[in-house]
Amino acid sequence: MRCQTGRMTSTELSRLWPAAGLRVAAGDLELRWIDDDLLLGLADLAARGVHDDGVMPFRVPWSRGTPEQVARRVLAFHWDARAKVGHGELVLELAVMHAGTPVGVQGISGSEWSILREVETGSWLGRAYQGQGIGARMRALMLHLAFEGLGAHDVTSTAFIDNAASNAVSQRVGYEPDGVERTVRDDEPATWRRYRMTRVRWEQVREANSALIGAPVEITGIEPLLVQLDG
Q: Which of 3, 168, 208, 215 binds ligand COA (CB under 6 A)?
A: 168
Q: Does 132 bind ligand COA (CB under 6 A)?
A: yes
Contacts for 26 with CB less than 8 Å, ≥ 6 apart: 137, 141, 213, 214, 215, 216, 217, 218
Q: How many CB atoms lie within 10 A of CB 73?
A: 19
The interface region with ligand COA, picked from 26-34, 112-120, 125-133, 223-231 by CB under 6 A, is 125-133
Say how far apart CA 138 and CA 166 lie, in whole Å: 12
Q: Which of 10, 166, 198, 209 binds ligand COA (CB under 6 A)?
A: 166
Q: Does 50 bind ligand COA (CB under 6 A)?
A: yes
Number of H-type helices and E-type strands within the chain:
8, 10
Say how far apart CA 58 and CA 62 lie, in whole Å: 8
**What torsion, rounded to 10 degrees, do the Cα atoms 134, 139, 142, 143 define?**
-140
| Min dist. Cβ of residue 160 to ligand COA (A) | 7
| Min dist. Cβ of residue 6 to ligand COA (A) | 35
Q: Which of 21, 135, 149, 174 binds ligand COA (CB under 6 A)?
A: 135
Residue 10's nearest CA partner among 217, 219, 221, 218 is 221
Q: Does 134 bind ligand COA (CB under 6 A)?
A: yes
Q: Which is closer to ligand COA, CB of 20 or CB of 159? A: 159
Residue 90's nearest CA partner among 135, 48, 149 is 149
Burial of 137 (0-12, 13-18, 19+ CB in 10 A): buried
Q: Does 163 bind ligand COA (CB under 6 A)?
A: yes
Q: Which of 123, 156, 198, 209 binds ligand COA (CB under 6 A)?
A: 123
Q: Which of 13, 51, 224, 228 binds ligand COA (CB under 6 A)?
A: 51
Please give the residue ranges that form the binding site for ligand COA (CB under 6 A).
50-51, 57-58, 123-125, 130-136, 159, 163-166, 168-169, 172
